Structure 1
Amino acid sequence: MVTLADVARHAGVSASTVSYVLSGKRSISAPTRERIQRSIDVLGYRPHAGARALASSRTDVLALMMPLRTGLYVPVLMEIAMAVTTTARVHGYDVLLLTGEEGPEAVRRVEGSAVADAMIVMDVERDDPRLPFLREAERPAVLIGLPTETAAPADSTGLDCVDLDFEAAGARCVEHLAALGHTGVAVLGEPPDVYARGTGFATRTLTGLRAAAGTHGVGLLHRPVEGTYAAVAAAVTRVFEERPGTTALVVQNEAAVEPLLAVLRHQGRAVPEDVSVVAICPDQVAVHASVPLTAVTVPARDMGRLAVERIVARLAGQPARGTELIAPRLTERASTGGAPAPAADLAEGRHGRGGH
């Protein structure tokens, strides 16, 4: 392994001079800096992370706090994490992934050590217990999520936040279905644990769904559901028993998408002739479903990229910019259509065609 001393010998300077060039703590002449940089490039020298931290008080590491809690769809979390990692490398940073459910303790550990220069925080809850510690921390932080019920003014959280505008996403689903004539809509939401924790994206979506339903005169029924076939089958059966006039379903639970479509097939309900389905999910889930789904895209990659760009700007000395919400994009596919005529109308039509 190439050492700092090897670079010094190759460049014909002292080890301390190489150290000063790497840390920037002393002014070194341009010709000497260039000679040392050429030696670094030729030898392939890479400073040890610990040595960089001691020399410059910077680690070039970002801590990504991604607690793997029950009820969350791990593939989406990993897509965000991959976007964070690849964007961080473009800017010269590595990523330390923290997946434990430590809450404020994880923030204190990063803040009190030299393991990372900044924090990116996921799975943000309403009244998240990490928020007071993040606001007081010297290391900058960006949230992927919004710890409020609605899209609040940019400075209301006191932190940098990036996310999909889930409130607008919920409203967009209802607006699309109302335009197709649907007046009875049921929502298959995230698992109950997600709502019990007050997870921001889920509660904000529900706020948007309910507001738009009220505006458009749509009857709305919400059912949290686990992503198993048995749980989805029980929920769907109960929905149609309680609200026989339901003609459309909104699903915000990626794990429940295929079980839902299978349950509808088993019950003899054609999509979209008998019931329309709209999802809030990543494009790959919607496109590859057994019935291609009309869906509001969850832009996981954009969320990860924006978070890193925000944190890099903060580390460069720029002030916090508040909240940035990505506008929802709904793509129409094969799973939605006009609301079917009520059963009474169909019966009357058949009777009329039969004559007297």
Structure 2
Amino acid sequence: MVTLAEVAQRAGVSPSTVSYVLSGKRSISEPTRRRVERAISDLGYHPNAGARALAGKRSHIIALVVPLRTDVYVPIMMEIAIAVTMTARSYGYDVLLVTNDEGPDGVRRVAASGLADGVILMDVELDDERIPVLRELGSHAALIGLPADTTGLSCVDHDFATAGALCADHLADLGHRDVAFVGYAPQVYLRHAGYAERTLTGFRERARERGLRILHRPCEGTFESTAGVLGRILDDRPATTGFVVQNEGALGPLLSLLRTSGRIVPEDASVVALCPEQLAEQSSPRLTAVTGPAQDLGRRAVELVLGRIDGGSTPEVTLLTPVLTPRESSGPAPLAAAPSPRLPAPPSPADVENSHAQPLP
């Protein structure tokens, strides 16, 4: 096992200097800190966690509160969690996973016990009940997502309002005038998930500026519920030629249902998705999509919470710029939108009822 003395010898410093770099108890010059960190990395040194916590009054653990819901896209959440874990390890921190079903009590348990030096919250709601606990305890925290009030908080998120606006601009530039927004399940909007509401707000505002007629329909993401939503859209607005989809589960069913209803993508109907790039590339046709790297959210969140732990970071909000990549699923609006034939397989009454949830104001 590599010892602290061996790290000191490799870095050309005293053992106490290595200890100060690890504990943060004294200010060390940047060149010296880099030499010590390089020696730690080269030798694979892992200080004893118990001794390290006692000496530095730190646990060198970050608590990551992850969503445990059926209405989130699990691959993205896992990608963010992996990025948090790998980035934390590069700074000598371990990650403790806490599920969000524990709510404010779980956050209080971890933050008040000293078990973790800092907390990262995922799946942030506009009026998130966990945030008052963090403020009350003065916890070192970073949020992946934006609440309605970001005062005193360090947050990172994709710029979902801009993402929604990009979708509206793309379809408007292609000449579409009747556009439907197929969103997440109704419960996502009922709990005011920031990513869903901000995207919809950005889309609506830009659509109004561009003179688009729009519909918003929440969707459970199953084939049956997507069929119900599409049937309702075509009944309410037969001339719809553009679809914006912020629901990964609904993308495959929607493309299939458009084909069976006699609409060819993109000649008769254009589809723009808000989804991971890999999903957009794997679809048939390849999807025009607005994307943003999930790994960057995890990396930046770790940097923000470590900045708070080290006392050198002021509250800040970082929005990552989304990118729209045109692919095969979007094209110029057809000259005349003909009413569509009825869908061949109507959904069950229960699914239709679920999919008819009214859009939020």
TM-score, normalization by structure 1: 0.82
Find out whether 1:265 has 2:259 as its counterpart.
Answer: yes
Aligned with 1:314 (options 308, 313, 337): 308
Partner SS, residue 63 of structure 2: strand
| Equivalent residue, structure 1, for 2:121 | 121
1:53–1:114 CA contact under 8 A, matched in 2? no
User: Which entry has the higher C-alpha Rg, 1 or 2?
Assistant: 1
CA drift at 1:309: 1.4
Cα 1:203–1:20 shift into 2, 3 Å:
closer
CA drift at 1:53: 1.8
Cα 1:52–1:245 shift into 2, 3 Å:
same
| Equivalent residue, structure 1, for 2:180 | 186
CA drift at 1:247: 0.3
Amino acid at match of 2:111: E
Find out whether 1:332 has 2:326 as its counterpart.
Answer: yes
Aligned with 2:239 (options 234, 237, 245): 245
| Equivalent residue, structure 2, for 1:162 | 156
CA drift at 1:138: 3.2
Amino acid at match of 1:237: G
| Equivalent residue, structure 2, for 1:105 | 105
CA drift at 1:100: 3.8
| Equivalent residue, structure 2, for 1:303 | 297
Distance 1:103 1:224 in 2: 25
Distance 1:320 1:41 in 2: 29
CA drift at 1:288: 0.8
Distance 1:66 1:212 in 2: 32
Cα 1:271–1:319 shift into 2, 3 Å:
same
Distance 1:256 1:285 in 2: 12
2:258–2:264 CA contact under 8 A, matched in 1? yes
Cα 1:41–1:230 shift into 2, 3 Å:
closer
Query: Which aligned pairs between 1:39-188 and structure 2 lie closer than 5 A?
Result: 46-148=46-148, 156-188=150-182
Cα 1:64–1:55 shift into 2, 3 Å:
same
Amino acid at match of 2:103: G
Cα 1:309–1:234 shift into 2, 3 Å:
same
Amino acid at match of 2:307: A
CA drift at 1:328: 1.7
Partner SS, residue 296 of structure 1: strand
CA drift at 1:59: 1.3
Find out whether 1:221 has 2:215 as its counterpart.
Answer: yes
Distance 2:87 2:328 in 1: 34
Distance 1:21 1:177 in 2: 53
Aligned with 1:233 (options 205, 217, 227): 227
1:280–1:298 CA contact under 8 A, matched in 2? no
Distance 1:343 1:47 in 2: 68
Distance 1:208 1:43 in 2: 50
| Equivalent residue, structure 2, for 1:352 | none
Distance 2:41 2:89 in 1: 19
Q: What percent of counterpart residues are identical?
A: 58
Equivalent residue pairs, number: 323
CA drift at 1:67: 2.3
Cα 1:270–1:50 shift into 2, 3 Å:
same
Distance 1:86 1:340 in 2: 48
CA drift at 1:156: 4.2
Cα 1:313–1:22 shift into 2, 3 Å:
closer
Give a deviation string over 1:11-38, Cα, whole Å, max 9, x none: xxxxxxx999976889xxxxxxxxxx9x
1:111–1:138 CA contact under 8 A, matched in 2? no
Give a deviation string over 1:213-250, Cα, whole Å, max 9, x none: 11011011001101111111111111111100100100
Distance 1:63 1:243 in 2: 47
TM-score, normalization by structure 2: 0.81
1:170–1:207 CA contact under 8 A, matched in 2? yes
For structure 1, list consecutive stretches of 5 or more residues without a partner in the other structure: 8-17, 27-36, 149-154, 345-356
Amino acid at match of 1:61: I
Distance 1:76 1:182 in 2: 30
Aligned with 1:254 (options 237, 242, 248): 248
Give a deviation string over 1:126-174, Cα, whole Å, max 9, x none: 11111111123333101000112xxxxxx84320110011011101100
Amino acid at match of 1:215: E
For structure 2, list consecutive stretches of 5 or more residues without a partner in the other structure: 8-17, 27-36, 339-361
Query: Which aligned pairs between 1:13-52 and structure 2 lie closer than 5 A?
Result: 46-52=46-52
Query: Larger deviation: 106-115 or 269-278?
Result: 106-115
Partner SS, residue 317 of structure 1: coil
